[in-house]
Structure 1
Amino acid sequence: MAEPVSEQDQEFSELLGFLQDQKPEVQRAAAEGVLDHSENRAFVEYCRRHPRAAARPLLRLAERAEADAQAGEVAEKVVSQSAAGSENQKARLARDNALNTMEAGAAALKALVNLSAIPQVTEELVSLNAPKRITEALRSGWLEGRAGLAHWHAMILANITIGKVGQQALCVEDGMLRFLMAAYVTKPRPKARDGYNDPLFCLGKVLGNVCVLPEGRKIVAGEQGTGSISALIADLSERGRRADMMNALRNLCLDTACHEKIVSTDMFARMACFLYPFEKAEVGRRAELPEAVRALLETEGSTLTGDVAVRTAAVATIIGLNGSLEGREYLRGFGCQEVLRAWTVEETDSFILAGLGVGLAAMTAAMKRPAAAAAVADSKVSKKAKATGGSSSVASAIAQQCKDVAASLKTAEGYPSHVLAMLGDNVQHCLGVVKEERHSFQEQVIAMVGEVLGSVQNGIDGKIQAAETKVGEADSEKANRAAAAEGAAALVETRTASSEAATTELALAAGELKAALEALKVAEQEQKTGDAELVAAGAKKERYEAAMVTFSQIKEGTMEAKASAKALADLGKLGKDLAFDTALLTSLPAALSKEPAARGNFDQLVITQIESELQKHVATVTGILEAGAPEREVRAAKVTAAKSVADVAAVRETACKDALKDAQAAQKEAEKTQTAAIKAVKLFGSEMKQ
């Protein structure tokens, strides 16, 4: 059986229902009523329990608010141009309807700004495809030159994208997010409106929110080029937008997949403008900055910002870039070490100082450089022509010489093997014939043999020359190989030291993280223990206040009889728990069961005393809560602070792990280079003998 609907819930339901009325004036009154209620606790609670009842009609009005505003302007113009008479009356009616519709849409937008902060309403808006519908409404007005309500659209999108569901919804279509980016960075910007100097300010929060997701970062970073990132970086010069832009850039830099795009920009130079205390830095220290960066800081001026949120995001950005080799090289190229040094001197926040320590440690770690492999050329073994002993007959001598020629042909290089075989097989048939008796074809074969033998001789001469050169350069080559071996040994020593230092840093970071987690655990336990009494008092207060509401409804006679019987039983149980006077509790059901007009003096006395007792207990627990509130806030602040320390320590440990991994890889590469260099030294003697 469905629970009875309270009178207040019924009122809220009817108010939201009027948003869908056909009459524009009714819609307007309802929308303005919802706006007035959107900060009312009871109405907010109703919307939390019935999110669709609020989200659906408000979204319908809100998405056409910009178009309705234009229609109202057109209708006003028509009235001003109409002559008196029936036509003017019609124009006035149309104008009034258009203005009512416009005001209804504007009020619905503002109400959605407040209500979209409720998680249940946000989820319902996402299910209704609100991210796309609101973006399309904003884009339609933008393309038509209207941006009068853009700031409300931006606020709604900022609220919707706080959660993962909203972020994912906005990343479904690249075009939506790209339009919002373009609208955010496009100049000139919309004029100030409703007290907002930068109407599209909240789109920066939207971009920061969606960059939490990999798909969001992929869209913002862009598949090609760095135009979108550069446009966001340009907004770092505006203080009002700086915090949101730093949050977006922080999320990009914590993703090494985005580093390729980041390092193609001047982001860090722009960050240095509000991180580097230029005037406080020594002149000699300033000179360590790259010339282009120094010139930028001198031209635009630079000082350490007082915005803790900006500095916190900036240090996380630097730690993120240190997660890749290209990121560290990029930071070094922009003088990051000097910026961090000067920043550390001025920094007062302990959490940021810890992050700066992580960044500096990563910056000073050994870079991974390509190894110089020793190139060893293989010498070729020259072959000697076979000599034959004297023969007793000329014929046998010629035959042997022909065999020698054929054998030499086989050593020729650069000729197909079957061609050399053909020439070798025909040497005896050509050179073995007396010159005067040779055919012209035989002469051609002999000429080809001579050409091949000439190439063989040239090859032999070349090898002899190469061998002579090799011998002549032996001392130099030996010295070079020895020097290479010494250099490789020194590099191994350096990189081994870097690995050991990185190991030590990781151990320290791990210890810091362990201590931070233990401190967080202690703070949370202290909070739980310290808040126990206040939690109990809060539960009691809710129970007492609910009892007072029930008591008031029974007292006024507005509660149904069936519900009243159960409520009286609950009040009796509460009275026993609170040790109310037994006589009062006994008399209470009879007094409350009477109609208000029929109650006598005794009935009124019973009701008044019970009501007084309830108020007294509410006041007691309220006093407990108010007295304990300051200490409760202190305990909550301790937990927050301890969690921040733990988060920074976790980031530092991750950075130290990456630094150790890079250092060990660099050490391994150096050891491979050393092994090759030592081998080259050992092979030198045997190579010279070849």
Structure 2
Amino acid sequence: MTKRPADTKTSPKAKAKKAEKADDANSRFEPIFHLVGMANVTESTKAMLSGMVPHCFRTCPADRHDFQQKMTAGLVELVNNVEADHVRVVEEARVTFEDVQKQSAEAAKAVEVAAEEAASARAVRTQKEEMLQEAEKETKLAQAAVAAAKAKMESMEADRSAIVAEKAEYESLLEGDWAVLKAGSMDGKKWRERSKLITFVLKMLEPVGLDAALNGALPVALKTKPADRGKFAEKAIAYSEELLHRAIASYSEKLEGFETEASSRAQALTDAEAGLEAAAQLQEQRQADFLSADAIVREKDATLASAKKAEKTLAPRSSKTKASLADAEDSLLQVRNLMTEFQNLVKGEEG
């Protein structure tokens, strides 16, 4: 009977130890595996290269056969390409970042310029508004002048009637009560009535030249009997009568010159209306100037708002491109660190 051959299967524990040793041996090739993983080649090519790495680099450089040397050279080229790809990414990220920075600077400058122009436009608008307000005041004054001139024209007949009435009142006083007081013909028992008449005479004299001295002297003179009046009393009475005659003469002159006054008032109205027309035209022009300035302010404010919005939009892009550049530079640094370890393996040196 033939003996059964001894069971040559490896135990699970032995397999695990063997795999662990293989993993330890392959761990030093991790830099190459990482670089291969970054390469711009197909997944099958990456798998083939990763499988070949241990066989190439466990062998001393001097002992590598022709195929291993060719594969090593291919890996060197691949790694250089990985570095070149990362350098290109860094340069592209830097160009993008610098472009965004340039745009941000231009946007900030645009905001600054727009703000200055908006401020200047507002200053001009304020000036135009003040000029418009001045014109509006002038128009109101001109309107008041026209209204006053029209009122004077409309009141001409009333003024003439008032002058006639006032002249008649002075004439009546001179011919009536004044004559009685001057003659001293009023009954002495009617002293209260005489006092009232004297008070009325003084009131009528006030607007035509009565002064303090005459105001004090005339009542005494009129209360004195004509035979007892002295020189100064007679002068007071004579001067008062002269004032009454002057008043009547003044009213007569006013009535005679009433046509001239009417013409003067008509001319005043014409001048006032011309002034109002000029003021209205000036106000209209300044209103147009203000509206134009206001439109420019709104335009400049819109430009400023747009510039601020553009600047604000660039802020996250600036942060994003800055972070992208930093990430690209970190990745390139990582690649170059891995390349140093790779080059040591190519030379057969331990990292």
TM over 0.5: no
TM-score, length of structure 1 as denominator length = 0.22
Higher Rg of the two aligned structures: 2
Q: Which structure: greater helix fraction? A: 2
TM (norm. structure 2) is 0.39
